[in-house]
Amino acid sequence: MHTCCKICQSILVRLRVKCRFQQTTDISVEENNKTWSGRFSEPVAQLVQRYTASVEFDYRLAEHDIRGSIAHARMLAATGIIQTDDLAAIEKGLAQIREDIRNGKFEWQLEQEDVHLNIERRLTALVGDAGKKLHTARSRNDQVATDIRLYLRAAIDDIIGLIHGLQHVLLDLAEQHAATIMPGFTHLQVAQPVSFGHHLLAYYEMLQRDGQRLQDCRKRVNQLPLGAAALAGTGYPVDRAMVARELGFDDICHNSLDAVSDRDFAIEFCAGAALIMMHLSRLSEELILWMNPAFGFIRLADRFCTGSSIMPQKKNPDVPELVRGKTGRINGHLVALLTLMKSQPLAYNKDNQEDKEPLFDTVDTLKDTLTIYADMLAGLHVNPEAMRQAALRGYSTATDLADYLVKKGTPFRDAHEAVAQAVRFAENKACDLSELPLADLQQFSAVISEDVFEVLTLEGSVRSRNHPGGTAPEQVREAICQARSQLPG
């Protein structure tokens, strides 16, 4: 308990919240607080205190807040706004606070409202007057905007790394299955045979765009709000470029009003995250279908499945189901942020405090999903024979037969009709086109000869689509080579 709490004999309630630096963090809630200045004639009501506080979740910004404060203090000293011994005291105090937070020794107080005030008040308690000078030429408005940008920049870098990791797993799996044939679907009906490796590479491409999108978003994240102060800038001779350099920002935000109120970068990130989740939800849907015994194409490793409490035979694909489900949650966060910003007048408004939980949850969910997905795909059991049998069942080479007729001079529409008749005939006989005797096939077109059977095989069909972007195993291997040469690590 803080000394001041002992003096005022306040009641402390302990909130236990999850913390990034340790298992749980205690936040003390003090009644009869006196956070605000002499401007106020009565204490804030307790419910209001709880309602307006953000420390329960924004404590996660602590590392970034401290980093931003150190850069700000260095600039204040370099420009002569504070003395060098003040800077030394501030740096020492902040280092101590960082240690305490990392070790779970820092006492978070709800009455100090947010991460910024908690750290600043503790700094002053530790180093005295120098601590009170840290907030010169700064407001929590530009401070919080800076913290979120630092947080999100680090998160984007982590997420891009995780995307690349998943892409590597897809490439490895695609390489193993470059020549594994499965039915390709349109309308979820058997369409044409494709290489399973080729199918996987489609997801590689989606993730490639996802990574590029986040990389692009990072440029707009990586701009410095500090210096904007509350909204109008500051009368002190600040050096914003120096702070930007110190914090690794590419540039400063060019308009102070925009700097404190802009959350586009967070929305953009959430839109990028929603696209990633949407892509993974599609793959999840496929894994769930493929795992159904009616397909039997794959098996997920047991560690990614759960059983049923009533049906002993069940093995449920919980992980892909949850990825599908969590996609809704990420979409929700995107809509929450868009709605948060809608119609907000300039400049900073307290509404913006609501940006953090959706953003944090988006980052957490996305990181977990990408990590678990890479692991799950690396342990995937594939059943090439089941895929092959399914491709044989759906007349998947009918288009190849039509193309064969076209190559022998039949106009495409006539070829299409002839093959449709042949499929109907084979269906009545409950066999594949390739199983019909030559004489039967010739009823539908006189140009058909013995060489037709090469075209009707799954392998022949897949092999014939031999151009960049096509499903021929040769092309799949080439695409994997190209992808590997571009993908980091």
List the catalytic residues. 187, 308
Decide whether 196 or 348 has the Cβ nearer to ligand ARG: 348
What is the smallest separation between the CB atom of 58 and ligand ARG, expressed in angstroms? 6
Dihedral sign for Cα atoms in the order 388, 393, 398, 399: negative
Decide whether 231 or 242 has the Cβ nearer to ligand ARG: 231
What is the smallest separation between the CB atom of 355 and ligand ARG, expressed in angstroms? 7
What is the smallest separation between the CB atom of 267 and ligand ARG, expressed in angstroms? 16
What is the smallest separation between the CB atom of 241 and ligand ARG, expressed in angstroms? 24
Decide whether 142 or 246 has the Cβ nearer to ligand ARG: 142
Cα distance between residue 52 and residue 144, in whole Å: 15
N- to C-terminal Cα separation, the chain: 48
* Token representation of residue 487: 């993908």
Main-chain dihedrals φ then ψ at residue 239, nearest 5 degrees: -120, 90
Dihedral sign for Cα atoms in the order 328, 329, 330, 336: positive
The three-state secondary structure class of 29 is strand
Decide whether 137 or 415 has the Cβ nearer to ligand ARG: 137
CA dist list (Å): 473 to 70, 162, 193, 465: 56, 27, 12, 9
CA dist list (Å): 314 to 292, 298, 302, 308: 11, 15, 12, 6
Decide whether 187 or 350 has the Cβ nearer to ligand ARG: 350
HSE of 342 in the Cβ direction (CA atoms, 13 Å)? 6
Q: Give strand ranges (E) for 297-441.
A: 298-299, 381-382
What is the smallest separation between the CB atom of 155 and ligand ARG, expressed in angstroms? 17
Binding residues (CB under 6 A) for ligand ARG: these are 54, 58, 114, 140-141, 144, 350, 352-353
* Token representation of residue 434: 């390739």
CA dist list (Å): 312 to 27, 228, 288, 305, 450: 45, 63, 19, 14, 52
Main-chain dihedrals φ then ψ at residue 184, nearest 5 degrees: -85, 145
* Token representation of residue 336: 């929450």
Residues belonging to the chain: 489
What is the smallest separation between the CB atom of 64 and ligand ARG, expressed in angstroms? 13
Decide whether 112 or 410 has the Cβ nearer to ligand ARG: 112
